[in-house]
């Protein structure tokens, strides 16, 4: 049994920043499915939103967040996060993150993205997430109080129901070491889920392959509630190219003057919204989807050719380089783009200290539902949320009474065998992602949701039988979590009888006057 003060599952910005804040005072285990750098945070291009400029204000940032959230943002949570924005940025600067300087060199360059009324997105060129992750990873690997377990995937949380102590809390997790194929038992009085979102439930996504909804699924099986899973943000501009899997074209390009055009060069966004290309993501994604379906297009184009070449290369060096590798010179050619699943605005219900309803269990980052994002996330608020709630979780853990470590039962493989045909897993994975894209995508109908739910039930039965009889593998664990997460998405979507934010229904096109969250309470609690 591996014993620690805190077990953190996930190595994105939320998990890494939390580990670094806890490490001076606690013995921390950080479990990650691949390497420390493999996370959705690492893919983030745009930056982190915070009111840093004198012309901007906390009130303006709050207002922009509430507008983008289409009436469902929690005002209390929004203020809590936005007011802590500068502190979060200062912490990253203190860690050594090399944010891009302005022309004078005396301050930091701030860009503007869709839905923002001011320039308030601090960034490191067009690879903010990568730069932040690199900086924190170096510090994390060197810290003596942090034990890193790479190539380990969590299977399930260990709760009282599994071994019968008098309390009802979370006591750790069972984790598969993918290199040895052995299941390890991790004991910790505090467990934190920082596992990211479920983007791989869809056929087209900007997310890395690790985004399989693990934390959400594990928390639900342990008895936690989830909320607003129907609100899946489709990023409007993912590079459309057969060799460019999941490559995102940052929102900052539209903030710096990018124009969306049809193949014949016609601009179309002003017909959909007066803010045109600077409208929030849900509006831009639906507009692109509508134009593609109406005209039978494979993609639309993001045009930056009217901007000086030096400007594009300086501000978007990674996008420029990657597109050149694929034969696209963004200084002379428009970029082919399509919407792709990008971010889940719902997740495990938590409070302002990142606590779930299960004592000892916390959730931070995209896997959590804090109330910040409402029905649509404002661009670049995600990394800010990671930082703020990691700090909140750290504060709560450090001030809480130290619970004794529990002696936990070992993983039991006595009644299972090796799988005979693993092709079943790959076929089910492919089927799930295709029907979720077709039936539970940008625009939905009641019939499509019913069809998706029916297919999910069939897959659940197959996977449960497989899980019961065979030894666990990485692919089986991820598929099991994806199917459960897909079910939660569909169930929430079926309950929302309106169109709001990221949930667009042809059968319920009207937005109701009263805005309510979609809460699924687990039958175990």
Beta-ladder partners of 444: 505
Q: What is the mean pLDDT of residues 238-257?
A: 89
State the pLDDT confidence band at 219, using cuts at 50, 70 and 90: very high
Report the alpha-carbon distance of residue 333 to residue 385 in Å, rounded: 35
Q: Which of 84, 120, 254, 281 is catalytic?
A: 281
Whether 322 is catalytic: no
CB 118 within 8 A of CB 55: yes
Answer whether residue 256 is part of any domain: yes
Q: Where are the beta strands (DSSP E) in 212-333?
A: 226-227, 232-239, 259-261, 300-303
130 and 104: one domain?
Answer: yes
Report the alpha-carbon distance of residue 195 to residue 180 in Å, rounded: 22
Total count of domains within the chain: 3
Res 166 pLDDT > 60: no
Percent of the chain residues topping a pLDDT of 70: 98
Cα 297 from chain centre: 28
Answer whether residue 454 is part of any domain: yes
Answer whether residue 442 is part of any domain: yes
Burial of residue 221 (number of CB atoms within 10 Å: 0-12, 13-18, 19+): middle
Sign of CA dihedral 236, 238, 239, 240: negative
8 and 87: one domain?
Answer: yes
Q: What is the mean pLDDT of residues 355-366?
A: 96
Cα 6 from chain centre: 22
CB burial readout 186-203, b (16+ within 10 A) else e: bbbbbbbbbbbbbbbbbb
Q: Where are the beta strands (DSSP E) in 169-286?
A: 170-177, 182-187, 190-193, 226-227, 232-239, 259-261
Q: What is the pLDDT of residue 329?
A: 98
Nearest residue to 45 (alpha-carbon basis) of 227, 235, 196, 185: 235
Nearest residue to 363 (alpha-carbon basis) of 33, 15, 24: 15
Res 512 pLDDT > 80: yes
Answer whether residue 412 is part of any domain: no
Beta-ladder partners of 234: 341
Angle (deg, nearest 10), helices 128-142 and 13-22: 30
29 and 131: one domain?
Answer: yes
Res 413 pLDDT > 80: yes
Q: Summarize pLDDT for 463-475 with one digit per residue, the tens.
A: 998 888 889 999 9
Q: What is the pLDDT of residue 316?
A: 94
CB 197 within 8 A of CB 12: no
Q: What is the mean pLDDT of residues 387-416?
A: 88
485 and 460: one domain?
Answer: yes
Res 164 pLDDT > 80: no
CB 494 within 8 A of CB 444: no
CB 467 within 8 A of CB 476: yes
CB 195 within 8 A of CB 166: no
Q: What is the pLDDT of residue 48?
A: 96
Res 161 pLDDT > 90: no
> What DSSP state is assigned to residue 99?
P
Report the alpha-carbon distance of residue 86 to residue 431 in Å, rounded: 44
- Residues belonging to the chain: 525
What is the overall mean pLDDT for the chain? 93
Determine phi and psi for 2, rounding to 5 degrees.
Answer: -90, 125
CB 374 within 8 A of CB 380: no
361 and 394: one domain?
Answer: yes
CATH value at residue 187:
3.50.50.60
When comparing pLDDT for 46 and 129, which is higher?
A: 129
Q: What is the pLDDT of residue 525?
A: 47
Task: Note the pTM of the prediction, 2 decimals.
Answer: 0.92
Res 325 pLDDT > 60: yes
191 and 290: one domain?
Answer: no
Q: What is the pLDDT of residue 74?
A: 98
Q: Summarize pLDDT for 81-127 with one digit per residue, the tens.
A: 999 999 999 999 999 999 999 988 779 999 998 899 999 999 998 88
Structural domain including 429 reads 423-510
Q: Where are the beta strands (DSSP E) in 351-440?
A: 361-363, 368-369
Answer whether residue 27 is part of any domain: yes
Q: What is the mean pLDDT of residues 513-524?
A: 89
Distance in Å from the first CA to the final CA of the chain: 28
Beta-ladder partners of 301: 261, 336
> What DSSP state is assigned to residue 354?
-
73 and 113: one domain?
Answer: yes
185 and 138: one domain?
Answer: yes
Q: What is the pLDDT of residue 140?
A: 95
List the structure tokens of 427: 């076929």
CATH value at residue 334:
3.90.700.10
Q: How many CA atoms lie within 13 A of 208 on its CB side?
A: 16
Q: Summarize pLDDT for 49-82 with one digit per residue, the tens.
A: 999 999 999 999 999 999 999 999 999 999 999 9
Q: What is the pLDDT of residue 203?
A: 87
Q: What is the pLDDT of residue 146?
A: 98
Torsion of CA 52, 279, 500, 208, to 10 degrees: -70
Answer whether residue 54 is part of any domain: yes
List the structure tokens of 490: 């569909």
246 and 271: one domain?
Answer: yes
Q: What is the pLDDT of residue 490?
A: 98
115 and 33: one domain?
Answer: yes
Q: What is the mean pLDDT of residues 180-201?
A: 96
Answer whether residue 366 is part of any domain: yes
Report the alpha-carbon distance of residue 83 to residue 403 in Å, rounded: 32
CATH value at residue 489:
1.20.58.100
Last residue of a domain, one of 366, 399, 432: 399
- Judged by DSSP in three states, 425 sits in helix
- Judged by DSSP in three states, 310 sits in helix
List the structure tokens of 431: 């089927």
Report the alpha-carbon distance of residue 77 to residue 350 in Å, rounded: 11
Percent of the chain residues topping a pLDDT of 90: 81
338 and 350: one domain?
Answer: no
100 and 243: one domain?
Answer: no
State the pLDDT confidence band at 489, using cuts at 50, 70 and 90: very high
Answer whether residue 407 is part of any domain: no
């Amino acid at each position: 049994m591996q014993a620690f003060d805190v077990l953190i599952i996930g190595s994105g910005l939320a998990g890494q920043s939390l580990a670094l804040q806890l490490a001076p005072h606690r013995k921390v285990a950080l479990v990650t499915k691949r390497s420390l750098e493999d996370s959705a945070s690492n893919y983030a291009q745009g930056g982190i939103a915070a009111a840093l400029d004198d012309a901007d204000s906390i009130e303006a940032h709050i207002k922009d967040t509430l507008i983008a959230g289409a009436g469902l943002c929690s005002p209390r949570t929004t203020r809590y996060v936005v007011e802590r924005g500068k502190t979060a940025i200062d912490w990253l600067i203190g860690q050594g993150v090399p944010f891009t300087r302005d022309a004078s060199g005396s301050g930091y360059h701030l860009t503007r993205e869709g839905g923002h009324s001011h320039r308030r997105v601090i960034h490191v060129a067009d690879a903010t997430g990568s730069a932040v992750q690199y900086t924190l990873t170096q510090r994390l690997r060197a810290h003596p109080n942090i034990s890193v377990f790479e190539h380990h995937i969590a299977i399930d949380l260990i709760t009282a129901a599994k071994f019968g102590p008098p309390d009802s809390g979370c006591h750790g997790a069972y984790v598969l070491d993918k290199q040895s194929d052995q299941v390890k038992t991790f004991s910790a009085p505090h467990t934190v889920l920082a596992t990211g979102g479920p983007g791989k439930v869809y056929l087209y996504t900007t997310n890395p392959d690790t985004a399989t909804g693990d934390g959400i699924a594990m928390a639900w099986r342990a008895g936690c509630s989830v909320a607003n899973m129907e609100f899946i943000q489709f990023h409007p501009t993912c590079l459309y190219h057969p060799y460019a899997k999941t490559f995102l074209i940052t929102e900052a390009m539209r903030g710096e003057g990018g124009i969306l055009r049809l193949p014949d060069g016609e601009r179309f966004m002003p017909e959909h919204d007066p803010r045109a290309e600077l409208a929030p993501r849900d509006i831009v994604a639906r507009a692109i989807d509508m134009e593609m379906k109406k005209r039978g297009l494979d993609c639309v184009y993001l045009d930056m050719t009217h901007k000086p070449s030096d400007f594009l290369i300086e501000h978007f060096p990674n996008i420029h380089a990657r597109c050149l590798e694929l034969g696209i010179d963004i200084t002379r050619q428009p970029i082919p783009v399509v919407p792709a699943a990008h971010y889940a605005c719902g997740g495990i219900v938590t409070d302002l200290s990142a606590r779930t309803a299960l004592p000892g269990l916390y959730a931070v980052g995209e896997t959590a539902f804090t109330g910040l994002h409402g029905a649509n996330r404002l661009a670049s608020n995600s990394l800010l949320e990671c930082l703020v709630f990691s700090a909140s979780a750290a504060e709560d853990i450090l001030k809480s009474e130290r619970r004794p470590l529990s002696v936990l039962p070992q993983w039991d493989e006595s009644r299972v065998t090796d799988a005979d045909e693993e092709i079943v897993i790959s076929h089910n994975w492919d089927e799930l992602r295709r029907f979720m894209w077709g039936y539970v995508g940008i625009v939905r109908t009641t019939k499509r949701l019913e069809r998706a739910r029916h297919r999910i039930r069939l897959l659940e039965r197959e996977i449960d039988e497989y899980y019961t009889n065979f030894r666990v593998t990485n692919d089986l664990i991820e598929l099991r979590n994806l199917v459960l997460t897909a079910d939660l998405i569909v169930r929430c979507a079926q309950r929302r009888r309106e169109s709001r934010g990221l949930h667009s229904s042809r059968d319920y096109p009207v937005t109701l006057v009263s805005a309510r969250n979609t809460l699924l309470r687990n039958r175990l609690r």
